Structure 1
Amino acid sequence: MQIPVINRSHHPLPAYQTAHAAGMDVRANLTEPITLKPLQRALIPTGLFMEIPVGYEVQVRPRSGLAYKHGIGIVNSPGTIDADYRGELKVLLVNLSAEDFVVQDGERIAQLVVARHETAEWQEATELSKTERGTGGYGSTGTK
């Protein structure tokens, strides 16, 4: 699959880091470092603009290394970039650690996963089919 991308950053396009990776690492495109204080969040620009094919989305996911080593996550994880969005891709990072974290220009800040999706229509009903689980919600399947 080919996805048209405008790269207004001075960094390479997102790329898979291993042969069987699902996500491509995307980099921060900054004129100066951004310091995230504990529990602070910020939109980090990437300089990328894309034309995602209809029927697909690009999911923005945290990088496990940043999460484990520094407590850096993504607030709306996974974020979704829709096929009709043409603005700059920005990543909403959050610092969940007790220490400041400095985002540097060119730092790999997130992963992008291209995913197919369906478009659904709601069908109003007055009754739903019965299942063994029924209406059991949060924690209902882990009690045995």
Structure 2
Amino acid sequence: MEQKTVRYRVLDPRAKAPVYATPGAAAADLCAVLDAPLTLSPGERTMIPTGLAIELPDAGCVALLYARSGLAVKHGLTLPNCVGVIDSDYRGEIKVALINLGQEPYTIEPGERVAQLCIAPVWQAAFVPALDLSDTVRGAGGFGSTGKV
């Protein structure tokens, strides 16, 4: 798997470096930097600090934050915006917005892995106004228009 260097700065001595859990992992785990355990009640949202800031290698990269699948499936803990976008020119602390969509309170422990950080290529589009768009089989159909099976 190709690697690019992503520099990171430790903003809090309790922060843990992003780590890929396995050699084939697409995203690195990010850990919570908390003074004490934090309990999220059902429906409650919070921002979890990671104590880290990153420098992406160039403007052709984006860092994407995703929920950890185990937390989402087992406990309903996910990102309220589904995916967090960290632009290549952002240098502030990475914070993870979490919401508890589960039925039970969930306690986040200091140092717990709370999100996944995926670095991906990206490009900016040159948006050009048009009077019409090319025809496709799908056309303007959306929201289930291609069928269920």
Alignment equivalent of 2:141, drawn from 132, 136, 142: 136
For residues 89 and 137 of structure 1, what CA distance do their matches in structure 2 show?
34
* Large movers: runs of 4+ above 2 Å: none
Are 2:113 and 1:108 equivalent residues in the alignment? yes
RMSD over equivalenced CA pairs, Å? 1.2
Contiguous gaps of at least 5 residues in structure 1: none
For residues 143 and 84 of structure 1, what CA distance do their matches in structure 2 show?
41
Are 2:30 and 1:30 equivalent residues in the alignment? no
For residues 60 and 127 of structure 2, what CA distance do their matches in structure 1 show?
18
Aligned 1:58-137 pairs, distance under 5 A: 58-137=63-142
TM-score, with structure 1 as normaliser: 0.95
For residues 121 and 35 of structure 1, what CA distance do their matches in structure 2 show?
45
For residues 11 and 134 of structure 2, what CA distance do their matches in structure 1 show?
51
Partner of 1:8: 11
Equivalenced residue count is 144
SS at match of 1:110: strand
What percent identity do the matched residue pairs reach?
44
SS at match of 1:15: coil
For residues 105 and 84 of structure 2, what CA distance do their matches in structure 1 show?
23
Contiguous gaps of at least 5 residues in structure 2: none
TM-score, with structure 2 as normaliser: 0.92
Cα displacement string for residues 64-88 of structure 1 (whole angstroms, at most 9, x for unaligned residues): 1111111111111211100111111
Partner of 1:20: 24
